[in-house]
A and B are shown apart, each in its own frame.
With several copies, the nearest count.
Chain A
Amino acid sequence: MATPINRQTEMTLVQAVTDALRTKLSEDETTLVLGEDVGKNGGVFRATDGLQEEFGEDRIVDTPLSEAGIVGTSIGLAINGFKPIVEIQFLGFIYPAYEQIMTHVSRIRMRTMGRYSVPMVIRAPYGAGIRAPEIHSDSTEALFTSMPGLKVVCPATPYDAKGLLIAAIEDPDPVLFLESMRSYRSFKEVVPSESYTVEIGKARCVSEGTDVTLIAWGAMVQVAQKAATVAQERGISCEVLDLRTLYPFDRETIAASVQKTGRAVIVHEAAAMGGLGNDLVTLINDTAFLYLRAPIARVTGFDVPVPLFALEDHYIPTPERVLATIQRTVEF
């Protein structure tokens, strides 16, 4: 049944997504890909490129322009034997499906005491930084991490993208899978050609350090890393954590790291108010209060809508802003 897996081993993040899809489409006949332009066009970011040719129009389905329809119909498919992998063209266009996700995708298992479940994956490119038109650049992951019944995953590397997407597809519960557009083609990495998973719920320690814990995800991991490198030169040792799963996040790893370093800087693209950073602040407050040597700091988007792209570089956290915050935290 298995059709040949892409042999390429150096991949970009978006290629790793395609590879994960191809892997699961080959392994599991109940998987389907649905979305706007995912078929013939291979997706506006080419994440589903070639899949319709390989798996047919029946498995890779171009749908009408109708996010509530896509998600709502996929619920029906999911409770009746299929595993829909839905593409929402941009996270900023997921809002029409918000009701279906909020009142059904996330609640059906609870409401039927497990008799029905919704093993569905919703993939969505997100984030600013590629000069995309308005609304295309939203980073509103917290609207979903706050939704009991849903998991939220966000890879920062090609390796993790493949492993986490396969894990998400195999997960018995619905998973929102966020793909940073800015990271789609920013670098390549060796990715195994076989099927593998990266465990949902586990953060990745990007680099160990002793003075301050940096927590980031998606495109912000690289921003944090850059800041950490410069900080190192200035004698500040940063532990950089890539959160990878945004819900349920890795409480133990975060707690242990901040207990060790006594300081934390959280970096995210979303606005400060309501951002996931606040949940992380609470976690650290709850688990490392007596270890804290400075207030927990955040570097985030501002409390304004993501601007049109001429101003987006002012909106997105930069290594400079992160560095300044590290410095302030260490000097507190």
Chain B
Amino acid sequence: MEQHFPIQRIIDEEGRLIDASKEHDLTKELALTLYEQMHRIRTFDRKAINLQRQGRLGTYAPFEGQEAAQVGSALALSDQDWLFPTYRDHGATLTFGADMVRTLLYWNGRVEGCVPSEKHIFPPAVPIATQIPHAVGAAWAEKRKGTKNVAVAYFGDGATSEGDFHEGMNFASVFQAPVILFNQNNQFAISVPIEKQMHSETIAQKAIAYGMPSVRIDGNDAFAVYFTMQAAVERARSGGGPTLIEAVTWRFGAHTTADDPTKYRDQARSRDRVDPLDRLEQFLKHQGDFDETWMQQLQERHQAEVEAAVTAMEQFKAPDVNDLFDHTYATLPVDVQQQKEAYLLARGK
């Protein structure tokens, strides 16, 4: 099956163009935008790990290594589209327009961190694969309304083993929902390598079970991700139904800050991998579009943005115990109301 689903690339690991047909599409503007966003979310990600180590953040799921996949896909969306992320996709949500302060709050166990900005970004799905049917339903709703909006479900390689992946894929295809099933195959589900997760050689081939188009791409090639996503989004918008995209990538670090990857894999395998940012930097350099001053400014800007977000997060109003109760129903049932009053009363004294 691998030969039926070859990994598609536009630039190689040294950042050289290999798909000549795309030459004119790789504008400087696009390359710089992709790089900039990837740099921004990496700055965020590294800061978050640091904060966690300092005890200023809860358990955190880093995405270093997956920036091209997350930024390339999110940049291909439009304002009215829907994004259904996992706990590892805040690179994508930040790129799409999620609030950085709220993203940090989320990792501090604050429910405010789940509340999306004006954009349609669902709170991260924690139970694996459950967001896939949600995305299908939201996309189906857009189709029913007659809009051209699409929905994207992000999910990992491990998620493909869950029933919800299957049931969501089936509904997507049966109802031809305008949804993109965006898989980041980082080749591990916590400690479980993909060979133990599935017997199929690729994830892309799973779409055949649903008569759904699919494509397997180099998820660390930001251009391949961007253009593949764009094509899938276009097809969905124009009534062509769903697409499964397998973006082959790699997480450099731990599953979460609570995880020790050396228990299950040789971290040298991470060090040997080409960094998606370096790869894009190489491309820019080959094109003569890389500018040290610009890079300097980028660093300063992102550093400042992230620092400001951290400050805002730390100065954010204290958790409000009312929020424990108030959002369970539109109108609180009597018993919950009584529990709340009794608890607040007892705390008062």
Note whether A and B contact each other (Cβ less than 8 A): yes
Q: How far is the CA of A133 from the CA of B255 in the complex (A)?
A: 14
Which B334-348 residues have C-beta < 8 A from chain A?
334-336, 339-340, 343, 346
A31 to chain B, nearest CB (A): 12
Q: Tell whether, in the assembled complex, residue B116 and residue A112 are in contact, meaning their CB atoms are under 8 Å apart.
A: yes
B31 adjacent to chain A (CB < 8 Å): no
B235 at the A interface (CB under 8 A):
no
Whether A104 sits at the interface, judged by CB under 8 Å, is: yes
* Residue in A closest to B169 when the chains form the complex, CB atoms: A69
**What mask results when residues 294 to 326 of chain A are scored 1 for a CB within 8 Å of chain B, else 0?**
000000001111011111101100000100100
Bound together, the chains give a CA A76 to CA B136 distance in angstroms of 7
Q: Among residues 99 to 146 in chain B, which have CB atoms less than 8 Å away from a CB atom of chain A?
A: 106, 108-116, 122-123, 126-128, 130, 132-142, 144-145
Q: What's the least CB distance linking B341 to chain A, in Å?
A: 11
Does residue B264 face the partner (Cβ distance < 8 Å to A)?
A: yes
In the assembled complex, the Cα of A5 lies from the Cα of B141 at a distance in Å of: 27
Residue of A39, A79, A247, A310 near B111 (CB, 8 A) is A310
Closest CB of chain A to B330's CB: distance in Å? 4
Set of chain B residues within 8 Å of A171, measured between Cβ atoms:
330
CB distance from B116 to the nearest CB of A (A): 6
Given A76-B134, A92-B127, verify A62-B192 contact (CB < 8 Å): yes
Q: Write the chain B residue with the least CB distance to A306.
A: B324
- Contact partners of A100 in chain B: CB under 8 A: 130, 133, 164
Q: Are B167 and A201 in contact (CB under 8 A)?
A: no
Number of interface residues of A (CB under 8 A): 78
Are the C-beta atoms of A304 and B330 separated by less than 8 Å? Answer: no
Question: A63, B171: Cβ atoms under 8 Å?
Answer: yes
Q: In the assembled complex, how far is the CB of residue B6 from the closest CB belonging to chain A, in whole angstroms?
A: 25
Q: A75-B137, A251-B334 are in contact. Are A111 and B191 (CB under 8 A)?
A: no
In the complex where A66-B171, A315-B324 touch, is A113 in contact with B111 (Cβ < 8 A)?
yes
Contact across chains for B110 and A310 when beta carbons are under 8 A apart: yes
The closest CB in chain A to the CB of B149 belongs to: A80
Kindly state whether residue B15 has any CB partner on chain A within 8 Å. Answer: no
Task: State which of A40-48, A184-192, A231-239 sits at the interface with chain B.
Answer: A40-48
* Contact residue among B132, B164, B196, B319 (Cβ-Cβ distance under 8 Å from A96): B164
Specify the chain B residue showing the minimal Cβ separation from A58: B144
**Other-chain residue from B142, B163, B197, B327 in contact with A114 (beta carbon distance below 8 A):** B327
Q: What residue of chain A has the Cβ atom nearest to residue B145's Cβ?
A: A81
User: Smallest Cβ distance from B119 to chain A, in angstroms?
Assistant: 11
Contacts of A308 in B (CB 8 A): 106, 109-111, 113-114
A80 contacts B164, C-beta separation under 8 Å? no
- Whether A112 contacts B123 by the Cβ 8 Å rule is yes
Whether A273 sits at the interface, judged by CB under 8 Å, is yes
B59 lies within 8 A of chain A by Cβ: yes
A209 interfacial by beta-carbon distance below 8 Å: no
**Interface on A for B, CB 8 Å cutoff?**
36-37, 39-42, 44, 58, 62-69, 71-82, 92-93, 95-96, 99-100, 103-104, 109-117, 131-136, 148-149, 151, 171-173, 201, 247-248, 251-252, 272-273, 302-305, 307-312, 314-315, 321, 324
Instruction: Name B's A-contacting residues (CB within 8 A).
Output: 58-59, 82, 87, 106, 108-116, 122-123, 126-128, 130, 132-142, 144-145, 151, 158-159, 161-164, 167-168, 170-171, 174-175, 189-192, 196-198, 258-259, 263-264, 319, 321, 323-325, 327-330, 333-336, 339-340, 343, 346
Sample of 5 further A-B pairs with CB below 8 A, known A64-B161, A103-B130, A310-B111: A36-B189, A76-B135, A76-B140, A302-B325, A308-B111
